[in-house]
Structure 1
Amino acid sequence: MSLGDEHEASGGYGGTGQTRTRLPDGGGDPYGGARRGGRSSSRSLVTVVGVVVLLIAAIAFANRGGDDSSSSADSTDKPETSATAPSGQRPVRTTAAGIPSGFPQNRQGAESAAANYAVALVSADILKPARRTEIVRQIFVADKHASLEERFDRAYTKEFLNDIGLDENGDAREGQTYVSRTAPIGTKLTSYSATAVTAEVWCTGLYGTAGEKSTNPVTSDWFTMTLQLRWVNGDWKVESFAQKEGPAPVPGDNKASSADEMAKAVEEYGGFTYAR
């Protein structure tokens, strides 16, 4: 589920976007259907070979240079790496309300917090009233709690939830599984101080309802979330956030899975704690 194609809530903070609902084009399983045409098998083979070559080159490059001793002691705060390269910092070991917490007060900590908060903000749990309150109170600075809870409640009404196949508690109808899962691809800071940060998180995700009678089948999405973070009481918290589409790659040539396969995958594969 996406929090919106490109929006920012009024008042300069918050975001409460909408889930796109798509009707299937024809009868039968909306997840089935033939593989998209227009690409020859030779082209697919060339693409696969190219990706493998790039991966091998990347691994070789990553394993090179282990003898370089020029890195300084303050590399934790200013890594000499690209925006999406891992820092080597360990993930946090604590959680609150099921969300990672206790991020360090440095660049890596801010980016890790932003990545994990993006996952929570675009999760299926945000549509569950009781769980949504916990998420808001854990992620956001305290002076935004009341107003954001009200904004989310106004956005995710009973009518809205019904349109995407959920009841008033945010649960899917019998025989269906609602999916909204986000995976950060990379993070970067566009501004940083010891107490205030602007972080961008590039994400991909899945959203929709898996079920044979679903009119909102699970599809993929690419978006970038911008979060304003503030250092409060020993942790990074969100002060505001906004979201826009992309950057998105050219769609692949994968055959869509059945509704049962998609629902099973979501139930069996757990999520991660993300660290910069």
Structure 2
Amino acid sequence: MSLDDEREGSGGYGGTGQTRTRLPDAGGGDVYGGARRGGRSSSRGLVTVVGVVVLLIAAIAFANRGGDDSSSSDGNGGSKPESSSTAASGTKPVTGKSDAIATGYAHDQQGAQSAAANYAVALGSADMFDKTKRDAILATVIAPAELADFQKELDTAYSPAFNKSVGLNENGSTPQGFTFVSRTSPIGTKVTASSADSATVEVWCSGLLGLAGVNSTNPVTNSWFTNTVQLQWAGGDWKIVTQSQKTGPAPVPGDDKASSADEMAKAVQEYGGFTYAR
């Protein structure tokens, strides 16, 4: 979900950036059920199994070395990544919630990363297509000095034409018989700049967008993107001052068979989201 993309007229709100659409097989039927990439699934599966076995053997061999760290003194070996770069901090991420959005972050870099991840989820949710719910989200995550501008720009961005382009009715409601899906899942975060009361954080995300339902012309598709938010410490919490988005990094698509419309709708309704923490 990108606030910045819509400001540039590219239709990036609610996770609506460039996505890969998997088309059904020529035989027809469920728009979800027939879609999959062609060819070499068995050979790819064999390669995956062999790769896992090789990695397991390597891990056992490394564990049996008895802690030999002689290679670390070799000046030609290069630097090893710090385990802390991806490890959980152990710090309690939040102290409260405002509606469904986590709030009350620590006044440090870890708190800023947790805030950026959770705010990405909120700004990429289906609730952003409802004016009342959108205003409540913005009031929670946007810095007070920037709130009016964000509301004005987003009211323009979520236009009847935009709603229709993602398969919704012009007023943002979901057509009867369908389930609207708009979800953002953070994969990781990184601080690129910080001071006592400000931080710039990049959030690598995967997103889902579309209509789950039989004969949907906007089936749920997946996208990968990176949100960059500038945060400010205001009113005892981290708040967004600016946001932008770029596509990727995106992995190579797998050979997974697309789920049926019913399976996708049930998954969205039954699987709840998380509070994210650095």
**For 1:230 and 1:153, how far apart are their aligned partners in 2?**
23
1:129/1:181 CA distance change after superposition, 3 Å: same
- Counterpart residue identity of residue 88, structure 1: G
- Counterpart residue identity of residue 216, structure 2: S
TM-score after normalising by structure 2: 0.81
1:116/1:49 CA distance change after superposition, 3 Å: farther
Taking only the aligned residue pairs, the percentage that are identical comes to 57
Q: Where in structure 2 are the equivalents of 1:26-65 lying within 5 Å?
A: 27-33=28-34, 35-51=36-52, 57=59
What is aligned with 1:218? 220
TM-score after normalising by structure 1: 0.82
Shift of the alpha carbon at 1:142? 0.5
Q: Where in structure 2 are the equivalents of 1:1-276 lying within 5 Å?
A: 2-3=1-2, 7=5, 9=7, 16=13, 19=16, 27-33=28-34, 35-51=36-52, 57=59, 81-276=83-278
Retained in 1: the 8 A contact 2:199–2:230?
yes
Q: Unpaired segments of 5 or more residues in structure 1?
A: 66-79
Number of residues paired by the alignment? 253
Retained in 1: the 8 A contact 2:210–2:221?
yes
Rg: which structure is higher?
2
- Counterpart residue identity of residue 127, structure 2: D
**For 2:268 and 2:181, how far apart are their aligned partners in 1?**
7
Deviations 1:192-234 (A, max 9, x none): 1110100000011211110113111001110000000000111
Q: Unpaired segments of 5 or more residues in structure 2?
A: 68-81
1:49/1:94 CA distance change after superposition, 3 Å: farther
1:196/1:43 CA distance change after superposition, 3 Å: same
**For 1:135 and 1:100, how far apart are their aligned partners in 2?**
11
RMSD: 2.9
Retained in 1: the 8 A contact 2:167–2:210?
no
1:55/1:129 CA distance change after superposition, 3 Å: farther
**For 2:197 and 2:55, how far apart are their aligned partners in 1?**
39
- Counterpart residue identity of residue 242, structure 1: S
